[in-house]
A and B are shown apart, each in its own frame.
Chain A
Amino acid sequence: MSTGTDNIIVFDKVNKWYGNSFHVLRDIDLQVRRGERIVICGPSGSGKSTLIRCINRLEEHQEGRLIVDGTELTDDVKAIDRIRKDVGMVFQQFNLFPHLTVLENLTLSPMYVGKVPKKEAEERAMTQLKRVRIAEQAEKYPLQLSGGQQQRVAIARALCLTPKIMLFDEPTSALDPEMIKEVLDVMVELANQGITMICVTHEMGFAKAVADRVIFMDQGQIVEQNTPHEFFNNPKTDRSKDFLSKILGH
């Protein structure tokens, strides 16, 4: 594993429990290089989402060290604020703000967090909306859009902060089958532009196309990590073989 300043995210023996009994992350060690594209997969309840939600502190880890872009995540609220500006996140359920128009969803953070003047924030928002090919819906409300369109808006919203890292938490799992492609296309484009990406997904086609590394998790542990080619053609553990046979079985 490479070390040094090239790593934008470093997990060092990170542990987390839900309540007193459920050990959700167990001794996670993980380094993510700047610009690296990682796909995390694994059965449900394996801790994938929890892992990436620790990176922008939507979840707190209890033991170990987690360093994002040179800043260690602790209770320091200012550090958390700084990291959140550099980390964009896309959720399974889109989580757009239904009372605001698409444009307002995008300009909110640049205006109130980034202190960008309204006009500039709107220009920036329109650029991102064009990037996800949905500029013509800017004045609509989220609930007036299809699932695929909403998720693309959510991606654009995360991009408006010009983040260094993008986290995707099962971005296509809540979508109708025919809408998955339009979202994946946007993600592939994004992946080709050099941003650091960590994506929890079961879209193995996407993993093969863009991932530098696939991480397989089970029971709160990283079981196996490898290049997509190696992982899919030559899985090393029985657990990952079993998992792959289930999701690629037909």
Chain B
Amino acid sequence: MAETIIFQSKPARPAPNRTEGLLPWIKLNLFGTWQSALSTVIIGALLVLYVPQFLNWAIFTSTTSTNADACRAAGVGACWGAVVEKYRLIIFGRYPFEEQWRPLVATLIMLTMLVVSCIRYFWSKWLVLGWTVTLAAYFILMYGSLFGYLDVFGLSKVTTDRWGGLPLTIMLSTLSIMLAFPLAVVVALGRRSHLPAIRSLCTVYVELIRGVPLISVLFMASFMFPLFMPQGVTIDTLLRVLVGITLFAAAYMAEVVRGGLQSLPKGQTEAAASIGLSYWQTQRKIILPQALATVIPGIMNNFISIFKDTSLVTIVSLYELTGSHGLAFNSDADWRPFKLEGYLFIVAIYFVFCFAMSRYSLWIEAQVNKSKLR
């Protein structure tokens, strides 16, 4: 008989050092190596030096007084009163003061529709109808009628050169994004077409647009384009600028989309062909859903760029958010010294929108990548 082996348990050992909790975290991440300790000290010193000063200026010694003289008094920091005094002008630009409820309602409708469109539950063909109604409502409210038609609401006419501020920023970026995205997809597909004419046309378009700055596109749209029009024919500046931004953004976006198309293995197209799908069915059902899913971060980059690039339309006298900030402060000697407070106000507005877009991009990435989870 074999000898029985006696089991002996190993002596207990102390647990390894804690890696959770505040102190271990600080030790590991802030003072882990001498480089990390040094940078912690330098950054810490800078924060100690400047944060209290900023907080002092922005909060502790600031005032909300709407009296410019009170703001100029010694020892007073930020004058948020400037924002209180000017916010209507900053947000609505040159839109007639008594009528400013109209851009407010129009923009709220549009923002609601934007939020609704972002929610999966509402993704259906009803969105198209929803957007048609939203855009019609926006233009009727802003213009007074649907550019001459449907003039039945008794609203006074406000021409597009008076539109401004946040409503203009939001409308310009929303419409440019909505128009540029499908155009970008078509151009990206065109650049991979087997037909040489279509391929060259799309390549020339992309290269031409990428070769010039947005400012010059806007200048051309607003000042040069009318020179080529027949006498008596005028196209609204806002419309021309909208087309300009759209064409500009679409060229960049098309290249991002093309990157996504390149990333798909050839087998996907072949498999689709082998089961009899046509070219457009293949693109719509197989290629684009996968290609666009891989380039969501890049496309969202484009969207955020468009949103911020709308600030350049000031150059052709359309006073969107940044432009109306200029309107509010540049021509007012009393308040001009407090321009910075105004800037911080619009910075906060821009940030809220851009941050929301980038967070949404992360969410949508998680949604479309579900099929890749094992």
Total chain B interface residues with beta-carbon distance under 8 A: 24
Q: How far is the CB of B68 from chain A (nearest CB, A)?
A: 60
Determine whether the beta carbon of B273 is less than 8 Å from that of A109: no
User: Which residues of A are found within 8 Å of B273, using beta-carbon distances?
Assistant: 56-58, 84
Determine whether the beta carbon of B268 is less than 8 Å from that of A112: no
> Is B293 among interface residues, defined by CB-CB distance under 8 A?
yes
Determine whether the beta carbon of B276 is less than 8 Å from that of A143: no
Determine whether the beta carbon of A91 is less than 8 Å from that of B271: yes
Flag A101-114 by CB within 8 Å of B: 1 or 0 each.
10000001100110
Determine whether the beta carbon of A91 is less than 8 Å from that of B267: yes
Q: Give CA–CA (A160, B271) in the complex, Å.
A: 14
Determine whether the beta carbon of A113 is less than 8 Å from that of B275: yes
User: Which residues of B are found within 8 Å of A58, using beta-carbon distances?
Assistant: 270, 273-274
Q: Give CA–CA (A95, B269) in the complex, Å.
A: 9
> Is A99 among interface residues, defined by CB-CB distance under 8 A?
yes
Determine whether the beta carbon of B277 is less than 8 Å from that of A95: no
Determine whether the beta carbon of A108 is less than 8 Å from that of B275: yes
Chain A binding surface, main DSSP class: loop
Flag B270-306 by CB within 8 Å of A: 1 or 0 each.
1111111110010001100110010000000000000
Determine whether the beta carbon of B268 is less than 8 Å from that of A97: yes
Q: Give CA–CA (A24, B69) in the complex, Å.
A: 88
Q: Give CA–CA (A95, B374) in the complex, Å.
A: 17
> Is A85 among interface residues, defined by CB-CB distance under 8 A?
yes
> Is B372 among interface residues, defined by CB-CB distance under 8 A?
yes
> Is A226 among interface residues, defined by CB-CB distance under 8 A?
no
Report which of A89, A95, A141, A157 forms a contact with B371, defined as CB distance below 8 A. A141
Total A-B residue contacts, Cβ distance less than 8 Å: 74
User: Which residues of B are found within 8 Å of A143, using beta-carbon distances?
Assistant: 371-372, 374
Taking residues whose C-beta sits less than 8 angstroms from the other chain, chain A's interface range is 20 to 34
Decide: A84 near B290, CB < 8 A? Known: A98-B371, A112-B281: no
User: Which residues of A are found within 8 Å of B290, using beta-carbon distances?
Assistant: 97-99
Flag B215-248 by CB within 8 Å of A: 1 or 0 each.
0000000000000000000000000000000000
> Is A247 among interface residues, defined by CB-CB distance under 8 A?
no
User: Which residues of A are found within 8 Å of B373, using beta-carbon distances?
Assistant: 141, 144
Q: Give CA–CA (A91, B370) in the complex, Å.
A: 25
Determine whether the beta carbon of B285 is less than 8 Å from that of A95: no
Report which of B267, B272, B285, B286 forms a contact with A93, defined as CB distance below 8 A. B267
Report which of A88, A89, A113 forms a contact with B277, defined as CB distance below 8 A. A113
Determine whether the beta carbon of A108 is less than 8 Å from that of B372: no
Query: Which of A85, A99, A100, A143 gathers most chain B CB within 10 Å?
Result: A99
Decide: A158 near B270, CB < 8 A? Known: A99-B290, A100-B371, A141-B371: no
Q: Give CA–CA (A113, B277) in the complex, Å.
A: 6
Q: How far is the CB of A93 from chain B (nearest CB, A)?
A: 5
User: Which residues of A are found within 8 Å of B372, using beta-carbon distances?
Assistant: 98, 141, 143
Decide: A85 near B271, CB < 8 A? Known: A97-B286, A99-B290, A143-B371: no
Determine whether the beta carbon of B276 is less than 8 Å from that of A95: no
> Is A39 among interface residues, defined by CB-CB distance under 8 A?
no
Determine whether the beta carbon of B285 is less than 8 Å from that of A84: no
Determine whether the beta carbon of A85 is less than 8 Å from that of B293: no
User: Residue on A with the closest CB to B290?
Assistant: A99
Q: How far is the CB of A33 from chain B (nearest CB, A)?
A: 23
> Is A81 among interface residues, defined by CB-CB distance under 8 A?
yes
> Is A96 among interface residues, defined by CB-CB distance under 8 A?
yes
Determine whether the beta carbon of A95 is less than 8 Å from that of B278: no
Report which of B278, B286, B370 forms a contact with A81, defined as CB distance below 8 A. B278
Beyond A84-B273, A157-B275, A158-B275, 4 additional pairs, beta carbon < 8 A: A58-B273, A98-B371, A112-B281, A113-B276
Binding site for A on B (CB under 8 A): 265, 267-268, 270-278, 281, 285-286, 289-290, 293, 368, 370-374
